[in-house]
């Protein structure tokens, strides 16, 4: 499973990228607001850090306007994935933009039917929002599993990008189910390294090492 980092924080992206933990980046208007920077400027900088897809989201609601915005965003760099919402207009924009050779990430997917439409429209990625489904007592992972089954049944090439990741459990479950990509905040990716037994074992080793009175350096 590929890791995308869900942020517009260039320092966090650079740190994870150096460790080989970043296969791509997703941004959205909320993350751009949090960064406090111009969308074109920060997106261009991110594209210079990572070689994988960088999702940049349109904000228009009508297909023609989405297409115009998408074309402008796509000019930022060759690795831009234009992000459009999973609405009927968003699907129209997806069809046109993918037809022009652009990567398109269809976002805010909450049902199998929506995912099926995104694949038919030629989406590069479809982004089911796991955490937001969990918030309303629905099963986000069940949606990922159902999309995986349908895409495999019919050979759709659209990649499943598990989004709205809230925890390390979301990451492992998405991988087990067969999501192609998971996008998560930097803190969640870093937290995947944590385990209480690792901490306990390390503490024991260090206490025993101190008793030897030795040094390596």
- Look up the CATH number of the domain holding residue 13: 3.20.20.70
Q: How far is residue 135's CA from residue 132's CA, in Å, rounded to a whole number?
A: 5
Phi-psi category of residue 184: left, alpha or beta, with phi > 0 → left and psi -120 to 50 → alpha: beta
Average pLDDT on 136-151 reads 97
Mean pLDDT of 8-36: 94
Number of domains in the chain: 1
* Domain presence at residue 173: yes
Is residue 196 in a domain? yes
Q: Express as a percent the part of the chain with pLDDT over 70.
A: 100
pLDDT of residue 70: 98
pLDDT value of position 120? 98
The residue segments making up the domain with residue 152 are 2-212
State the DSSP string of 50-62.
Answer: -SS-EEEE---SS
What kind and span of H or E run contains 45?
Answer: helix 39-49
Residues 74-122 have pLDDT tens digits of 999 999 999 999 999 999 999 999 999 999 999 999 999 999 999 999 9
83 annotated active-site: yes
Catalytic residue among 2, 34, 83, 187: 83
What is the per-residue pLDDT across 31-45, written as a single tens digit (0 to 9) for each? 999 899 999 999 999
What pLDDT does residue 204 have?
97
Asked whether residue 159 is domain-assigned, the answer is yes
pLDDT of residue 170: 97
Instruction: Evaluate whether residue 217 is within a structural domain.
Output: no
Q: Is residue 165 part of a domain?
A: yes
Please give the pLDDT value at position 176: 98
Q: Residue 177 falls within a domain, yes or no?
A: yes
In a domain, residue 158? The reply is yes
- Is 136 contained in some domain? yes
Judge contact between 72 and 97, C-beta under 8 A. Answer: no
DSSP per residue over 81-97, as a string? EEEEESSHHHHHHHHHH
pLDDT tens profile 106-119:
999 999 999 999 99
What was the pLDDT predicted at 91? 98
pLDDT classification of 167: cutoffs 50, 70, 90: very high
Q: Which of 160, 158, 104, 110 is nearest to 131 (CA)?
A: 110
């Amino acid at each position: 499973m590929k890791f995308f980092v869900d942020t517009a924080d260039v320092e966090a992206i650079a740190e994870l990228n150096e460790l080989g933990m970043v296969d791509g980046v997703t941004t959205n208007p909320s993350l751009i607001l949090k960064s406090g920077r111009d969308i074109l400027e920060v997106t261009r900088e991110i594209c210079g850090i990572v070689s994988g897809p960088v999702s940049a989201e349109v904000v228009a609601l009508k297909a023609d306007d989405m297409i115009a915005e998408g074309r402008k965003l796509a000019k930022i760099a060759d690795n831009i994935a234009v992000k459009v919402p999973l609405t009927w207009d968003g699907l129209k924009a997806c069809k046109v933009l993918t037809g022009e050779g652009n990567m398109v990430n269809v976002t805010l997917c909450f049902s199998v039917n929506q995912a099926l439409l995104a694949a038919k429209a030629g989406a590069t990625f479809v982004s089911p929002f796991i955490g937001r489904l969990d918030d309303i007592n629905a099963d986000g992972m069940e949606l990922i599993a159902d999309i995986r089954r349908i895409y495999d049944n019919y050979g759709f090439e659209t990649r499943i990008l598990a989004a709205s990741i809230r925890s390390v459990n979301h990451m492992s479950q998405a991988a087990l189910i067969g999501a192609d990509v998971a996008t998560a905040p930097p803190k969640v990716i870093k937290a995947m390294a944590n385990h209480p037994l690792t901490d306990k074992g390390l503490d024991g080793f260090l206490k025993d090492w101190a008793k030897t009175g030795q040094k390596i350096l």
